[in-house]
Amino acid sequence: MRRIGLTQRVDVIPGRGERRDGLDQRWQPLFAELGALVVPLPNGAPSAQVLLEELALDGVVLTGGNDVAGAPQAANVAPERDQLEQDLITQCLTRDLPILGICRGMQMLNVALGGYLERTTAHVAVEHPISVADTRHWPDRWQVNSYHDVCIPMAGLAPSLRCLARAENGDVEAFAHTEAMCHGIMWHPERETPVRAEDLAFTAQVLRF
């Protein structure tokens, strides 16, 4: 069974002095449909190298939640998560290991590769269409969910990334690395019930199932 490592959001629990790692339970059934095992990756782990080697991971997904520290007016930041994900990106690119960023994870990939982020509005808890550049993955005018107030403007896309889909306002909604197995989408496939066949097929392809 393939093992896919998933990064976790950091939640601060008032009154307990705790910083908790958390992962949406809906990820497990999504990867179960692909015949894969979800492996939650702890923030503050010894190193990304140790996680990849000792857990024998076949790919990594950077999930949503928390602002990337480099985002304008960043709030709810998690430095320990930023560090782990930056190290995972470096290790995955070095090892030719597939990596997929979802929402915040897509933003983190873009920043790590030299791009930048901006604030956006009217993209939290809504659905909207996107224009798809390559319809092998999704049909044009594909409808997606949206839970972000930070975006990747087209001008802010990292040089090594190419745009696969854009929102109506021009923001990048999906990208692929020009050389590596590195992809990002801004919507949350795990929050669709049932998970859509197109998103399953895309996930399987970019993670080399």
Which range of residues forms the domain containing residue 64?
2-206
Number of residues that make up the chain: 209
Specify the CATH number for the domain of residue 98: 3.40.50.880
pTM above 0.85, yes or no: yes
* pLDDT tens sequence across 32-83: 999 999 999 999 888 999 999 999 999 999 999 999 998 999 988 999 999 9
Q: What is the CA radius of gyration of the chain?
A: 16
C-alpha angle 126-123-139 in degrees, rounded to nearest 5:
70
| % of the chain with per-residue pLDDT over 70 | 100
Query: Encoding tokens for residue 71?
Result: 């985002």
Handedness of CA 127, 132, 138, 139 (dihedral sign): positive
For residue range 117-140, what is the model confidence (pLDDT) as tens digits? Answer: 999 887 888 899 999 998 889 998
Cβ contact 39:6 at 8 Å = yes
Residue type, 130: I
Per the structure, how many domains does the chain have? 1
Give tens-digit pLDDT for 73-100. Answer: 998 899 999 999 999 999 999 999 999 9
